[in-house]
Chain A
Amino acid sequence: MRLTLHVWRQSDARDPGRFETYEANDISESMSFLDMLDLVNERLTEDGKEPIAFDHDCREGICGSCGMMINGVPHGPKTMTTACQLHMRSFSDGDEIWIEPWRAQAFPVIRDLVVSRDPFDRIIESGGYVSVRTGSAPDAHTIPVEKQAADEAMDAAVCIGCGACVAACPNASAMLFTAAKVAHLALMPQGAPERYDRVLSMVETHDEEGFGNCTNHGACEVACPKGISVDYIAQLNRDLFRATLSSRPANEAKE
């Protein structure tokens, strides 16, 4: 099939950026969206132009590297599907496709479709773990974990850190990302001792990084390629409420 692509091109954070239009011919249905971009890039290179930059790695929907707005929707038209798992059979001959980077203040554009998602790492750094030394763990069967709790924790832990939730949110909030990690660890007995300190520091970092507030739009859940539920945000808010009531400053509790 033959497509017209309007692709955001921006050489670095200082460049204001613009859409450029490319014709993509001889695209087959069995190609993935990123295979299609590869082919466009091959042709751009052959024509002496600079190829379109985009992050990618696993191309199996698990590493969370790829991420772009496709016709205004994070990861494109198919639900529960990352851009790398989207196939061209979801499009038709003659289609126009608009491709842009994630738009969020906290995610500055590095080049074209590549953004910095470093704030996600800093949110995890501020408490998204269990404080356990290597080598000091008890036998794995010491604490049984209710199957249902383990399953629910897993439902939250499947987050791939792609940033689609932020891109979808009108407030550019990263609450779904933060809540997924808070819930995963809170649901496991191993994560319980630090439960309240964790939620305080992670939410504090979330806000400092320039993400917006959650106002319950629910756009994040729809955009999430892993189908993570907004119920986890409600759970985070309950934990946050309890943690604030106990009014221990996060850092003091940490020492």
Chain B
Amino acid sequence: MELNARIPAGPIEQKWDRHRFEMKLVNPANKRKFDVIVVGTGLAGAAAAATMGELGYRVRAFTFHDSPRRAHSIAAQGGINAAKNYQGDGDSVFRLFHDTVKGGDFRSREANVYRLAQLSLNIIDQAVAQGVPFAREYGGLLANRSFGGAQVSRTFYARGQTGQQLLLGAYQALQRQIHAGAVEMHTRQEMLDVVVADGRARGIVTRDLLTGKVESHSADAVVLATGGYSNVFFLSTNAKLCNVTATWRAHKRGAGFANPCFTQIHPTCIPQSGEYQSKLTLMSESLRNDGRIWVPKAKGDKRPAHQIPDDERDYYLERLYPSFGNLTPRDIASRRAKEMVDAGHGIGPMENGVYLDFRDAIRRMGKEAVSERYGNLFAMYEKITGDDPYEVPMRIYPAPHYTMGGLWVDYNLMSTVPGLFVIGEANFSDHGANRLGASALMQGLADGYFVIPLTIGDYLSQLPDGNGDAAAAFKDVEKEVRDRTDRLLSARGSRTVDSFHMELGRLMWDLCGMERTEEGLKDALERIPKLREEFWREVRVPGSGESFNQSLEKAGRVADFLEFAELMCHDALQRDESCGAHYRREHTTEEGEAKRNDEEFTHVSVWEHRGGDEAPREHREELDFEHVPLSQRSYK
């Protein structure tokens, strides 16, 4: 497996410009001759499909949703970053670049991050031109907020529904291209494999979720925009249908998987309330601006919060981090909460949370002011828990939220399989070992609107004439897909798909979640193959393969999670350091923080699938930090 990042030469601020000039162009008349497949119509995919259609490529887009208006992207609440410096508070492209590299704990590629910061400017222009109703100030100009501990206000937002409004903007642009005949849309179609022939991606094989029909689709290039894999933990803040299938199957066909163990945990989610809960709900991070986090000093203290006097409360973040207090970064706030709960200080009916208390904020600024800032969040919290946060402190606990890992891509966003491109959360991305708040929407849209539509031309313009015949390859893959479906249906065991998914999720959370150890990871690597074996023997998938069958859809996805989970643990084990969201207990500073090992681990780990019983093989892309000097984080 060759890893050539193809970073353009020249000063960092000129790389993208130069690259745009040096890339080969496809002349407009020839664009019609190229077929491009886009899998996934979330922010990244919808933006890419619409733009490539507009440029003249023949585009086919696929989603397993019933409409491209629905994708996980729609749930993003907080906002989107851009270095517009509309507030005049000292922001710049360089500062956004710098913050992203540092926030990612020095495990991302500088050239890509710089381009992302540059393109952030265009995204806001594009979205505004589409009519996205961003929040405005009284003078009619765009409003900003500061987010996730950033020192400048660079986050643009549309109430608490930024993801929704940006996705609808991209969706509408896509519908316009469908209307114009430039994009052919395939809804309720699940991609189940990539077809590679003569060393290049040649198309995909899908299953029609309504009829069960397995079909081949050939193209000159394939773009995956299929999102992240947080649902490997079963319980996460991701939409229920998010899964790893598309990227995992591509990995098995030769695409390197980069840093799969980099998964982000979000500190402010509503704790699990029962055994049968299906997903976790995120509460906006902004709540930490005014809420105070605490647990009772006494273990197992069952008194209601208001009966616990102040001197019996431990405001542990304020105690441990006097200067940042409740605003310490996501990973630190998460780990400290877990430690408190593990040590027996957990609160709530299941003793699985910590308090986020607005009592003092209400005393200080009055109920009305609190309600103005957080009213909708409080209402949502009450809807879910039945508790009124004005009276009773909120209960929160960390939950899996975002995956920085993904398929490895070069500067052109092409994977190690020529002709297979990966955009949005699905690629290993620009966020290194930890993503900053409001940066995922930015990356998905930069990839989709501005990068892929140009870089794909560089590949297509150099395709040799007369593509070799790939019919045989398609036939083989179709057969593999059908056989797999048949195997799932014919196991006829005694356990439901969800019961396996829950078991895997618990295992991953315990052993490869917020905190990892060599011992735990080795244990996971022993247990996952056994669980997978049991799955194939004992799973029960009712119904048939020739109709709408949600159990079958789930079964295929869980089968892939059961393979992927093992790779995640290999990666976490091999990365014998702590960095960003990846925390290995063995590597802790004296102050109890994550301890990086730059000597040995300033690289991207890219895994090659070898099949059978062979362990995956690791390859490395070394990272250079020329513009943001390596430094240790400190939040004391």
User: Chain A: residues with CB nearer than 8 A to chain B?
Assistant: 11-12, 28-32, 34-35, 38-39, 42, 45-46, 48-51, 53, 55-60, 62-65, 81, 85, 87, 89, 110-111, 114, 116-118, 120-121, 124-126, 128-141, 144-147, 150-151, 153-154, 157-158, 160-161, 184-185, 188, 190-191
| Residues B129 and A190 in contact, CB atoms below 8 Å apart | yes
**Shortest Cβ distance from residue B116 to the other chain A in the assembled complex, whole angstroms:** 16
Which residues of the partner chain B approach A126 to less than 8 Å between Cβ atoms?
A: 179
| Residues B172 and A48 in contact, CB atoms below 8 Å apart | no
| Residues A28 and B274 in contact, CB atoms below 8 Å apart | yes
**Shortest Cβ distance from residue B193 to the other chain A in the assembled complex, whole angstroms:** 23
| Residues B276 and A53 in contact, CB atoms below 8 Å apart | no
Cα-based distance from A76 to B165 in the complex (angstroms):
26
Query: Per a CB cutoff under 8 Å, which of B50, B187, B499 touches A134?
Result: B50
Query: B103-111, B156-164, B409-417: which lies at the A interface?
Result: B156-164
Residues B173-232 near A (CB distance < 8 A) = 173, 175-176, 178-179, 185, 187, 210
| Residues B276 and A38 in contact, CB atoms below 8 Å apart | yes
- A111 and B125 contact, Cβ closer than 8 Å, known pairs A42-B498, A147-B137: no
| Residues A185 and B75 in contact, CB atoms below 8 Å apart | no
Is B453 in the interface zone, CB < 8 Å from A?
yes
Please name the residue on chain B nearest to A139 by beta carbon: B125
Which residues of the partner chain B approach A32 to less than 8 Å between Cβ atoms?
A: 278, 384
| Residues B133 and A150 in contact, CB atoms below 8 Å apart | yes
13 A-B pairs in the complex with CB atoms less than 8 angstroms apart: A11-B547, A31-B277, A45-B540, A46-B496, A50-B543, A53-B548, A65-B66, A89-B386, A116-B66, A129-B173, A134-B47, A151-B136, A154-B159
| Residues B136 and A150 in contact, CB atoms below 8 Å apart | yes
| Residues B125 and A140 in contact, CB atoms below 8 Å apart | yes
Question: What 10 additional pairs, Cβ within 8 angstroms, besides A12-B547, A128-B175, A157-B158?
Answer: A31-B274, A62-B75, A126-B179, A132-B173, A134-B50, A144-B141, A147-B138, A158-B164, A185-B131, A190-B130
Which residues of the partner chain A approach B279 to less than 8 Å between Cβ atoms?
A: 59
| Residues B548 and A137 in contact, CB atoms below 8 Å apart | no
Please name the residue on chain B nearest to A156 by beta carbon: B133
| Residues B133 and A153 in contact, CB atoms below 8 Å apart | yes
Cα-based distance from A29 to B276 in the complex (angstroms):
12
Cα-based distance from A87 to B67 in the complex (angstroms):
26
**Shortest Cβ distance from residue A152 to the other chain B in the assembled complex, whole angstroms:** 9
| Residues A29 and B386 in contact, CB atoms below 8 Å apart | yes
Cα-based distance from A231 to B133 in the complex (angstroms):
19
Which residues of the partner chain A approach B277 to less than 8 Å between Cβ atoms?
A: 31, 35
| Residues B142 and A140 in contact, CB atoms below 8 Å apart | yes
Cα-based distance from A62 to B187 in the complex (angstroms):
19
Cα-based distance from A124 to B71 in the complex (angstroms):
17
| Residues A60 and B75 in contact, CB atoms below 8 Å apart | yes
Cα-based distance from A29 to B178 in the complex (angstroms):
45
Is B124 in the interface zone, CB < 8 Å from A?
yes
Which residue, B65, B176, B281, has most C-beta atoms of chain A within 10 A?
B176
| Residues A34 and B278 in contact, CB atoms below 8 Å apart | yes
Which residues of the partner chain A approach B185 to less than 8 Å between Cβ atoms?
A: 121
Per-residue A-contact encoding for B378-390, CB less than 8 Å = 1, 0 else:
0000011110000
Please name the residue on chain B nearest to A226 by beta carbon: B161
Which residues of the partner chain B approach A56 to less than 8 Å between Cβ atoms?
A: 240
Is B588 in the interface zone, CB < 8 Å from A?
no
Query: Per a CB cutoff under 8 Å, which of A39, A57, A131 touches B70?
Result: A57
Which residues of the partner chain B approach A133 to less than 8 Å between Cβ atoms?
A: 54
Closest 6 pairs between A and B when the two form their complex, measured CB to CB: A144-B140, A137-B129, A129-B172, A30-B273, A137-B125, A140-B128
Which residues of the partner chain B approach A129 to less than 8 Å between Cβ atoms?
A: 130-131, 172-173, 175-176
Which residues of the partner chain A approach B449 to less than 8 Å between Cβ atoms?
A: 134-135
| Residues A58 and B74 in contact, CB atoms below 8 Å apart | yes
Is B69 in the interface zone, CB < 8 Å from A?
yes
Please name the residue on chain A nearest to B124 by beta carbon: A140
| Residues A45 and B496 in contact, CB atoms below 8 Å apart | yes
Residues B114-141 near A (CB distance < 8 A) = 122, 124-131, 133-141
- A35 and B278 contact, Cβ closer than 8 Å, known pairs A124-B171, A147-B138: yes
Cα-based distance from A124 to B179 in the complex (angstroms):
9
Query: Per a CB cutoff under 8 Å, which of A64, A65, A138, A191 touches B131?
Result: A191
Cα-based distance from A172 to B496 in the complex (angstroms):
38
Query: Per a CB cutoff under 8 Å, which of A34, A87, A121, A134 touches B175?
Result: A121
| Residues A161 and B386 in contact, CB atoms below 8 Å apart | no
- A87 and B179 contact, Cβ closer than 8 Å, known pairs A140-B124, A144-B139: no
Which residues of the partner chain B approach A139 to less than 8 Å between Cβ atoms?
A: 125
- A48 and B542 contact, Cβ closer than 8 Å, known pairs A87-B383, A153-B133: yes
| Residues A161 and B176 in contact, CB atoms below 8 Å apart | no
Is B86 in the interface zone, CB < 8 Å from A?
yes
Please name the residue on chain A nearest to B76 by beta carbon: A62
Please name the residue on chain B nearest to A34 by beta carbon: B278
Cα-based distance from A30 to B161 in the complex (angstroms):
25
Which residues of the partner chain A approach B421 to less than 8 Å between Cβ atoms?
A: none
Is B1 in the interface zone, CB < 8 Å from A?
no
| Residues A131 and B176 in contact, CB atoms below 8 Å apart | yes
Is B550 in the interface zone, CB < 8 Å from A?
yes
Please name the residue on chain A nearest to B544 by beta carbon: A50
